[in-house]
A and B are shown apart, each in its own frame.
Chain A
């Protein structure tokens, strides 16, 4: 696609529910990243994929968070049993590869957990 696409753009959910966030990277980009940004805060790194592989999952805040990427393209970030502290903007980015390539960001998913 022309840019990184994320869906939904907004998600309101109740505490305890599961949510799934989707990211469609730029075609041909092998690296994909998930970040989260709380109101007025910096970007917190969550996880990245090189192809379909996620070499480092240590950035995920808890075991309620998981992510997968299939076909070297679309990625989904799943949050189980959501908590209020999960409320944030979840940003996805992609790059050609990881060697000094700039990141292209999607518009993000605003998650609100009530």
Chain B
């Protein structure tokens, strides 16, 4: 998805907080999704933002600014099992299928 940008890799320490950023360009906005994908497994849904602001769900929070075309995923109290790729996804326009960013591979180290 050339219209979605996120960092390729990040490393963080167990117990710490990490923020994964995503910028996007769409002609119409119909929400932004974050998915988690462990190595060798299918992506699983994490969060969906359609309005500006922060959505908190346990250790994971997702933020959206529609005017800036910007979102971030915030992971708190990192655990080793959080090591995975985190994919940002948006429909390019209106009700069209999701286009995914290339994903951010997060490594959590002791």
Contact with B along A90-114 (1 / 0, CB 8 A): 0100000011101111111000000
Q: Which of A42, A104, A107, A108 has the most CB of B within 10 A?
A: A42
Interchain CB contact under 8 A, A48 and B30:
no
Contacts of B43 on A, CB cut-off 8 Å?
43, 91, 103, 105
Q: Scoring A residues 14 to 58 as 1 if CB is less than 8 Å from chain B, else 0, what string do you get?
A: 000000000000000000010100000111010010000000100
Are A45 and B99 in contact (CB-based, < 8 A)?
yes
Residues of B within 8 A of A91 (CB): 42-43
CA distance A108 to B42 in the complex (A): 7
Segment touching A, from B12-20, B60-68, B100-108: B100-108
Inter-chain contacts of A102 with B (CB < 8 A): 33, 45, 48
Q: Are A42 and B100 in contact (CB under 8 A)?
A: yes
Q: Does B31 contact A (CB under 8 A)?
A: yes
**Per-residue CB proximity of B17-30 to A under 8 Å, as 1/0?**
00000000000001
Which B69-110 residues have a C-beta within 8 angstroms of A? 87, 91, 95-103
When distances are taken between beta carbons in the complex, the residues of chain A under 8 Å from B42 are: 91, 105-108
Smallest CB-CB separation from A106: which chain B residue?
B42
Q: Indicate whether B50 reaches chain A with its CB closer than 8 angstroms.
A: yes
Interface pair B30/A100, CB less than 8 Å apart: yes
28 contacting pairs across A/B (C-beta < 8 A)? A33-B97, A33-B98, A42-B1, A42-B87, A42-B102, A42-B103, A43-B87, A43-B100, A45-B97, A45-B99, A45-B100, A91-B42, A91-B43, A98-B91, A98-B95, A99-B30, A100-B30, A102-B33, A102-B45, A102-B48, A103-B33, A104-B45, A105-B42, A105-B43, A105-B44, A107-B41, A107-B42, A108-B42
6 nearest A-B pairs in the assembled complex, by CB-CB distance: A42-B102, A105-B42, A43-B100, A102-B45, A48-B97, A98-B95
